[in-house]
A and B are shown apart, each in its own frame.
Chain A
Amino acid sequence: MKQCPIKEMPEREDEVRSALDISALNVVFPTKVGDVHVARDVYLRVGENESLCLAGESGCGKSVLALAITRLLPKKANIQGKIRVHGVDILEAREECVRRIRCRQISLIQEQPSLCLNPVMNIGSQVAEAARVSLGYSSAQAKRAALDLLRRTGIPEPKHRYRLYPHQLSGGMNQRVMIAMALAARPRLLIADEPTTALDPYIQVQLIELLQGVKRELGASLLLITHDLDVALELCTDVAIMYAGQVMERGKLERVVENPRHPYTQGLLRCFSEEKPRAIPGVSPPLSDIPSGCGFHPRCPLARPECATMSPIWRNGCRCHL
């Protein structure tokens, strides 16, 4: 793998070892209705061979993080902060460098796979393209590699399906194709953005198993973005809960599920509880109009006067005044 010419000196020892390190990230989109703060003061860390689940409701800014890490956000987005992948500062690096990092070190798996594949190219050549670009294979080598990848992701009759088009395959198959593309260069960081949403539950189980296998085989770190905590429980060890663009709670998944500290997490888990699922009253705010102070205070059952005015600081794995 070609080394990227820019390499920041790590500030702390363990930063070198973390696959993904986000600090003080702020993402703002200037729009006609005003500035939209999609991510506010986000801190995240995924260590080597670890797996973090980024959970939250739709519209809380999770997908934006995935795009920010790979620097695929539109140009008008205003990004501040630091994102480090294996020690490389993504936001400061040259475009050429980031391009090489994509797919060689970071891979992105998206939701709605049928829309994420080029409809006029057959799936085999799309996978082969990933192999060709990231590993510098020739066409013949890339085709062989693509066939191998298709087989490894559990697509039956890879030789026949190589020539098929995305609209001829089911959603689950297409997602396997996406995963095959993501694996091409054996990346060390996998970002999966809602990989199983919009697919049948039966397919979801299969894909989860596939992802587990992939993660094991590559020894890669995983950043799983989802609103489905069941999927998270299968795949991840850590969790970060996001609400209105901020990370509200962070910690080991088991701990958080057993003993949630933040009122939002508590409410969220109540939604999933088997005995008496109860929704959190109200709706999550649009990112263009976030309440002042703690973003959750209008819906928080334990809100106190200072929650409305002061932004809570990070304390004890949780961002709350309590």
Chain B
Amino acid sequence: MRILARHKGLFCGGGLLLLIFLGGVFAPSIAPHDPTVQDLRMRMTGPSFTYPLGTDTLGRCLASRILFGVRPSIGLAMAATCMVTLAGIMVGVLSAVFRRLDMVLMRITDCFFALPGMVLALVIISFTGPNPWGILLALSVPGWPKYARVVRGIARSQLAQPQVEAVRCMGAGPLYVTRTCLLPWIWPQVTTIATLGIGGKVATIAGLGFLGLGVQPPTPEWGAIMYGGLPVLGIAPHISLFSGLAIALTVLAFTLVGEGVHEAINPLIGEDANETMPD
């Protein structure tokens, strides 16, 4: 019980996240209506008994659309995060081990840092078009430099420790060194950043959807719903509000979990936090 009180952020966030997950997974069963079915007579109505969150501009059930919207948003965000994490770890470790490679890789990451995440995402979308693979790339490419940087930092400070020399003297190969000396230190930090980063990616997906360059209709996507609700903000504010709330709550949940994980892990490491940069 005391653990609960100490990590209340983590548990609130975790609970919220669980709800969202379940909502997304069981959307077909829970959703009151088919999200694509239009009922033009009931356009832009507010919350009612039949339509719990109201309807959008085409008479589709908002609640259903929001529930089904969990899947693309979180699914893509988590997939992208996995990709970014793996890529970042690889690059970071390589960069720390091979000094010459380090110079090149660091300059490359500098270039990526020079462009805001959204800009890079848009450029990538301009190559690939707004399909799921394109979105995945658009989320991953701007993200990996940050992970690479952090991993490189950790790896470098760990490689300077005497344990590594000792192990190397015993004939350990680079894989062994990586596995035993580097990874245990890398995982905690990376997990923290990754969890916090998922929230940012959800926001980016929503942003792309908002601009019409993300997940395409008819798949319901929160950002797109929000954009659709803008012209009618005066008469039907619930459309943009509820979709926006969905985005905000998801980001909040991931942020709380991320910060909770960070707090829980930090005492074991004793390292300082990285400030969360805008993704």
A and B touch in the complex (CB under 8 A): no
What is B's interface to A at a CB cutoff of 8 Å?
none
